[in-house]
């Protein structure tokens, strides 16, 4: 009899765990569905604005040309462009830091193309 009573408590505890687990699971499923909708909306928006994204990437890459000349001048210590004015040096150095934007954009473009290719294969 003692065994049955202990076993009954164990089943009750397991049932409570299952109820909590199903509530947690439904919350997680709802959270994932909401985020998946937002994710899909973002990629639909991104796919419709690829031209603007490529234009921004092209501008940033073309800005790299004066930066490369400035960097060569700095390395060769000619002083033609480098060390002329601290603000100019600041901006030409700072151009190097915005290279991250095209790197991220290229990754997003690749993912977008793969995603669209898979979508076309499924239909």
In percent, how much of the chain has pLDDT > 90? Answer: 24
Q: Which letter, b or e, does each residue of 70-108 get, where b requires 16 or more Cβ atoms within 10 Å of its Cβ?
A: bbebbeeeeeebbeeeeeeeeebeebeeeeeebeebeee
Digit-coded pLDDT (tens) for 31-43: 888 888 999 999 9
- What does the pLDDT average to over 86-105? 87
Q: Does the structure show a pLDDT above 70 at 7?
A: no
- The mean pLDDT value of the chain amounts to 81
Residue extents of the structural domains in the chain: 1-39, 49-123
d(CA 39, CA 76): 48
Between CA 65 and CA 95 the distance in angstroms is 10
Q: How many CA atoms lie within 13 A of 113 on its CB side?
A: 6
At 70-84, the pLDDT tens digits run 888 988 888 888 888
pLDDT in tens, 10-29: 445 455 555 556 677 777 87
């Amino acid at each position: 009899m003692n065994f049955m009573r202990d076993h009954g408590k164990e089943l009750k505890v397991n049932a409570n765990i299952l109820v909590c687990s199903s509530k947690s699971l439904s919350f997680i499923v709802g959270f994932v569905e909401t985020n998946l909708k937002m994710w899909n909306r973002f990629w639909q928006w991104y796919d419709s604005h690829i031209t603007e994204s490529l234009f921004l990437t092209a501008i940033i890459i073309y800005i790299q040309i004066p930066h490369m000349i400035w960097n060569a001048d700095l390395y060769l210590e000619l002083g033609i462009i480098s060390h002329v004015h601290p603000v100019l040096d600041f901006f030409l150095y700072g151009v190097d830091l915005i290279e991250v934007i095209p790197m991220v954009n290229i990754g997003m473009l690749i993912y977008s193309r793969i995603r669209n290719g898979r979508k076309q294969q499924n239909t």
